[in-house]
Amino acid sequence: MTERNPDPVTAPSTTSPALIALAWIVVAIPLLYGLWQAILKAAKLFTG
């Protein structure tokens, strides 16, 4: 007997939007920091 999966695409979410936002902020801050540092380094390509 197989277990029928609920569709994860259409399943309604009851997770707090604040928790989702917090999770994304935790990973986005270091990622943006790294990206910013790389852009600063890359800027030398245009400014010499």
Pull the structure tokens for residue 31: 């990622």
Least CB distance to other proteins at residue 17 (A): 9
- Give the per-residue contact string, 1-40, with other proteins (x = CB under 8 A; - = no): xxxxxx-xx-xxxxx---xx--xx-xx--xx-xxx-xxxx
28-31-34-37 Cα dihedral, nearest 10 degrees: -40
In the complex, the residues that contact other proteins under the rule CB under 8 A are 1-6, 8-9, 11-15, 19-20, 23-24, 26-27, 30-31, 33-35, 37-46, 48
